[in-house]
Amino acid sequence: MSNLEDLYREIILDHYRNPRNRGELVTPPAHKTEGFNPLCGDEITVFIQVEGDTLVDIKIAGHGCSISQSSASLMSAAVKGKSLEEVRATINTFKQLMTVHEATLDNEAEPEPVNLRALGELAALQGVVKFPVRIKCATLSWNTLTQGLDEL
Ligand code: ZN
């Protein structure tokens, strides 16, 4: 096992054991969106508070496997305080990371390289894609956040 894989595992475990931005926000003014992954039983509730074009606060509630909870925590830390444009860009980069590996697994055309540096700690989740069934665990919170933004 490489040191990088060790580091990634440590980041995922850290976010699972000490989830960031855990809790709820008062609605309104916050917006609440619930997501469910029936394949694994993961449930995520994403609370977002937007002021102007800034995501000023985000809280995550729910329960599920370590990948779903860790991914939600990593996501909350990555998007909190960012402009909505930056939030959307982060979502797209993360989804690209998941999609690229799906394409690789299918032996399709050479995927576009993902800018891992731009992902920061989120890059830790790239190991998930070796286990395709877990991708839905990792993307659940992101899809829920996207739905919440679309509903604003
Ligand atoms: Zn799961």
Give the per-residue SS3 of 71-138.
Answer: HHHHHHHHHCCCEHHHHHHHHHHHHHHHHHHHHHHCCCCCCCCCCHHHHHHHHHHHHHHHCHHHHHHH
Question: Residue 40 Cα, ligand 1 centroid: separation in angstroms?
Answer: 5
Confidence at 127, pLDDT banded by 50, 70, 90: confident
Question: Residue 138 Cα, ligand 1 centroid: separation in angstroms?
Answer: 7
How high is the pLDDT of residue 151?
96
How high is the pLDDT of residue 7?
87
Tell me what the mean pLDDT of segment 28-47 comes to.
97
Distance of CA 19 to the CA centre of its chain: 12
> Looking at residue 104, which CATH number applies to its domain?
3.90.1010.10
pTM: 0.90
Confidence at 131, pLDDT banded by 50, 70, 90: confident
Question: Residue 137 Cα, ligand 1 centroid: separation in angstroms?
Answer: 4
Q: Which is more confident, 2 or 52?
A: 52
Question: Residue 77 Cα, ligand 1 centroid: separation in angstroms?
Answer: 20
For residue 19, give its domain range: 3-151
| Backbone torsion region of residue 74, taken as left when φ is above 0, otherwise alpha when ψ lies between -120 and 50, otherwise beta | alpha
Confidence at 102, pLDDT banded by 50, 70, 90: low
Q: Which is more confident, 112 or 147?
A: 147
Confidence at 98, pLDDT banded by 50, 70, 90: confident
How high is the pLDDT of residue 18?
96
Note residues around ion ligand 1 (Cβ under 5 angstroms): 40, 42, 65, 68, 137
Report how many domains make up the chain. 1
